[in-house]
Each structure stands twice: as structure tokens, then as C-alpha cells.
Amino acid sequence: MIEIVKDATTIANIQQSVVGSTGAFKDEILYQWLRDKCLSEDKFQQAVEKFLFSCGGYCVATYVLGIGDRHNDNIMITESGNLFHIDFGHILGNYKSFMGISKEWVPFVLTPDFLYVMGTSGKKSSPNFLKFQDVCVKAYLTLRHHTNLLIILFSMMLMTGMPQLTSKEDIEYIREALTVGRSEDEAQRHLLDQIEICREKGWMVQINWFVHLVLGIKQGVEKRST
């Protein structure tokens, strides 16, 4: 399925446009880009609101569906603050690996620059971050209430020939991600723990994104020279 989203760009483009590859380590770049696109304080605050809701939705969705390969060229944002992911070639925990080591280091993408837009850095928890957590928990618990429907839908797709959905074992990923069999309080704590893991290991994602930017520039230079 292909959809054109107007006034949108990748996180990689935003990072690269300011200081090149090292933009992956600049927490304030995304925040400043959004500020520059919103000419009034009201519009900016509305954009931050859209950002935290859309970021929360995609954090939960990519976690539950086991969507991998989440680099800065696969995540986009509109000038009004809507964050969205593209290119879903790796699902249900069938992640890429290098020399037998998984390239996925965090449960989902919640990098320091995303947190900076919410007014959060380090261990600090801003009001917008607390709201983000609430959005994630509500979305996660809602999905848990529809676990059977999700399992049925994926079971119906077993015969479609999707390379990463070939057996019932693949579908078990969803059950595990939704902590089936545990109480709602335990499920909520589980998701909040995943968010904390992302906060603690955000620097690892930044390194991955930096490498991706460097390789992208190198490939671009090679193409122009041939």
C-alpha cells in the first residue's frame, strides 16, 4: 500500500540537513525543525501534542507487531507534528542480524531527540512525557482487549506467502508482546519498563542512525562518481 503524505520528510533528512551525519547525536535538531515550521506558539504546541500521540501510537504498534529495521530513513514526520513509520519489511520479531547478532537493541524507537520534543532529557519526566506514557499504556491495554481478533487476523494471513508469517510460531510473538496471561497491572508495568529501556539505550539507536547516515552519504557519493 502506497500513500503520499504531503509536507513530510524523514528524520534522517532533518538530522543531515543541519550538521551532516553527526546530526544523529543532536537531541535538539528535531525540536528546532518543528519550531521553525510552526510560526506561532499555538501551532507549535499543537504540533507537540500531535507528535506525542503519534509517537506513542507507533511505539506500541511496532512493539506489538515486532516491526524491525527502524532507522531514521524509515521514520518520517509532517510539518504539523505527525510522526509515522514506513517500510515494514521485517515483522513479528524476524529482525535483521549481523554475524548472528540482532540489530534491534531496543523494544521500539524512542530516541533522545523524540524525548526532547516532549520536553524531556535524561531521567527528567516532563508533563508531556507523562502524557506520552499514558497514551502508550491506553493503546497497549486496548490492544490486549482485542488479542483474539489480532490472532485470528494473522492466522488468516498464514497462507498469503508472506516470508515472515509462515507458521503459528510467528504469531506467538504477538501473544508474548501483549503479555497474554498476565494481569492488567502487570501488563502496564511491563510496557512502562519497555519505555524505560528505550530511554536508557537511546544512545545505542543514535549510533545506529549515525552509521546509517554515513553509509547513505557514502553510497550517494559512489553513485555520483560512476
pLDDT of residue 193: 98
For the chain, list the domains and their CATH numbers: 8-214 (1.10.1070.11)
pLDDT at 112 over 60: yes
pLDDT at 223 over 50: no
pLDDT of residue 191: 98
* Average pLDDT score over the chain: 91
pLDDT of residue 61: 97
Please list the alpha-helical segments (H only) found in the chain: 11-19, 29-37, 41-64, 112-117, 127-144, 147-156, 168-177, 184-200, 202-225
| Identity of residue 2 | I
Tell me the mean pLDDT in the region 79-95.
92
The alpha carbon torsion through 123, 127, 128, 133 (nearest 10 deg) reads 70
Percentage of the chain surpassing pLDDT 70?
Answer: 92
pLDDT-derived band at 155 (thresholds 50, 70, 90) equals very high
Q: CB atoms < 10 A from the CB of 26, how many?
A: 18
Top-ranked range on mean pLDDT: pick from 19-23, 53-57, 89-93, 95-99: 53-57
Tell me the mean pLDDT in the region 14-39.
94
pLDDT of residue 100: 55
What is the per-residue pLDDT across 158-202, written as a single tens digit (0 to 9) for each?
Answer: 988 888 899 888 999 999 999 999 999 999 999 999 999 999 999
Taking the C-alpha atoms of residue 171 and residue 152, their distance in angstroms, rounded to an integer, is 10
Percentage of the chain surpassing pLDDT 90?
Answer: 78
What interhelical angle do 127-144 and 147-156 show, nearest 10?
A: 60
- Name 129's Cβ contacts closer than 8 Å, sequence gap at least 6: 52, 115, 118, 119, 120
pLDDT-derived band at 226 (thresholds 50, 70, 90) equals very low
What is the per-residue pLDDT across 36-85, written as a single tens digit (0 to 9) for each?
Answer: 999 999 999 999 999 999 999 999 999 999 999 999 999 999 999 999 99
pLDDT of residue 85: 97
pLDDT of residue 30: 97
What is the per-residue pLDDT across 210-222, written as a single tens digit (0 to 9) for each?
Answer: 998 998 754 443 4
Greatest Cα-to-Cα distance within the chain, rounded to the nearest angstrom = 59
pLDDT at 6 over 90: yes
Taking the C-alpha atoms of residue 61 and residue 140, their distance in angstroms, rounded to an integer, is 8
Tell me the mean pLDDT in the region 8-21.
94
